[in-house]
Amino acid sequence: MLRIGLLTSGGDCQALNATIRGIVKGLANNVQDLEVYGFVNGYKGLIYGDYKLLTPKDFSGILTRGGTILGTSRVPFKTIREPDEKGIDKVESMKQNYHKLRLDCLVILGGNGTQKTANLLREEGLNVIHMPKTIDNDIYGTDMTFGFYSAINIATDAIDCIHTTASSHNRVFIVEIMGHKVGWLPLYAGIAGGADIILLPEIPYDINKVVKAVENRKKRGSGFTIIAVAEGAIPKEIAELSKKEQKKAMEEITKQYPSISYKIAADIFKKTGIEIRVTVPGHTQRGGSPCAYDRILSTRLGSEAAQLIMDGEFGCMVAIINGKIKKVPLEECAGKLKTVKPNCQEIVAAKRMGISFGD
C-alpha cells in the first residue's frame, strides 16, 4: 500500500489541477494499492487535520480546470514556528497528522513561501516533494514554474486589447501586471504585448526617463504609448533609501493611490499634461484554464514526481532545467528568489528594440 498526501498552498494559478492529475495518474497506472489524501486549503488542512480520501472520480476532467480542487490558503512561513491563536504548535500538528495517516510522502504544490515550509518539514523528518507553482516564475532552481505561461497569455491579451483602443484614441495607457517583488511576468507580457515602456521591481525607474520615452514617441509620430507596470515597480529615489524608509515611502504612496500605476499616471500628467488611463487585469491573471504549455509542463513535472515517489526519493523540488525534468534538493533552493537581472538577455534584446525600462 502506498499512501500519499497532496496539498496546494499560497496564491492559486492555472495548472495546479493539471499537476495533481500528473502525479496521481503517474502513480495510479503503476502502483497496485494507492491511497491519496488531499489536505483542504493548503497547510491549514495539514495543521488542523482537514483532509479527504480522494477517489479516481476526483481526478477526472481536471487537466483543463483552473484553480485547485483542494483549495488553498496562505500560511506565512515567517510565523510557522509560532503557536496559533489557540496555542496549537503548527509544525508539531502537521507532523502528527502526517504520521496519523501513515503517509509515505507529502507532495506540496506552491511558491517560494510554501517551499520554505516544505523544506522545514523535510528537516523535521517528513518525506516531501515540492512542485514549483506560481505565475511569478520566481522560484530559484527551476527555469520555469507552472502557471507562468498561462498568466503571460492573459496579461498579453489585456495589453493587446488596450493597444487597439489606445491607438484609436491616441492615448497613453498603463497596464498593471502582477509581480510585487519580481518582474518576470510584466517583462514577458510587456514584450509579448509590444509595450513601449516596461517598469519592473528590479529596475527602479526615473520618472523623467519615463516621461522622455512618452514624449519621444509623440515626436516620432506615434500618438499612443503602452506602459506595462509591475505591481512592485519602484521610483529610483525611493529605491535609494534604506529598506525601512523604502517600506514607509511605499506605504505613503498606497495611502494616496490605489497602486503604483496610479502614481505614475499622476506624475506623468503633472509633468506633461497628458492624461493617462490605467488598466489593472489583477487576479484574472491567475484565473481560467491552463494554456497548452502549462498543461504539458505540469504533466511532465507530475509524472516525474510519481516516479520519484515510486523510487523512494524525497526532499526535493521537481524542476525543469534546459528542457529536462530534474530533481533539485530542497536545501539548495529553499529561501532563494529568482529575480530578473537588469542585464539579462531578454532586457538587452528589449532595449535594442527601443523599449524603455525607465532607467
Site for ligand F6P, rule CB under 6 A? 11, 111, 134-136, 178-180, 231, 286
Instruction: Say which of 50, 58, 104, 136 is annotated catalytic.
Output: 136
The answer to whether the CB of 180 falls within 8 A of the CB of 138 is: no
The answer to whether the CB of 13 falls within 8 A of the CB of 133 is: yes
Q: How far is the CB of 215 from ligand F6P (least distance, A)?
A: 31
Query: Looking at beta carbons only, is 11 or 45 nearer to ligand F6P?
Result: 11
258 by Cβ neighbours in 10 Å (0-12 / 13-18 / 19+) ranks as exposed
Query: Looking at beta carbons only, is 72 or 97 nearer to ligand F6P?
Result: 72
84 catalytic? Reply is no
Order across the sheet with 172-177: list the strands: 197-199, 225-230, 172-177, 276-279
Query: Looking at beta carbons only, is 27 or 151 nearer to ligand F6P?
Result: 151
Alpha helices in the chain, H assignment, sequence order: 16-28, 43-47, 90-100, 112-123, 148-169, 184-192, 207-219, 236-239, 243-256, 260-272, 292-311, 330-333, 345-352
Q: What does 67-97 look like in DSSP terms, one character per residue?
A: S-TT------GGGTTS--TT---HHHHHHHH
Q: How far is the CB of 217 from ligand F6P (least distance, A)?
A: 28
DSSP 8-state assignment for residue 334? T
Q: How far is the CB of 188 from ligand F6P (least distance, A)?
A: 13
- Report the C-alpha gap between 308 and 232 in whole angstroms: 37
Q: How far is the CB of 84 from ligand F6P (least distance, A)?
A: 20
Closest CA to 229 of 178, 153, 157: 178
Q: How far is the CB of 223 from ligand F6P (least distance, A)?
A: 32
Query: Looking at beta carbons only, is 178 or 347 nearer to ligand F6P?
Result: 178
Residue whose CB is nearest to ligand F6P in the complex, by number: 178
Q: What are the backbone dihedrals phi and psi of residue 107, each rounded to the nearest 5 degrees, phi first?
A: -100, 125
- Write the single-letter amino acid at 110: G
Query: Looking at beta carbons only, is 114 or 225 nearer to ligand F6P?
Result: 114
Query: Looking at beta carbons only, is 127 or 145 nearer to ligand F6P?
Result: 145
Q: Kindly list the catalytic residues.
A: 136
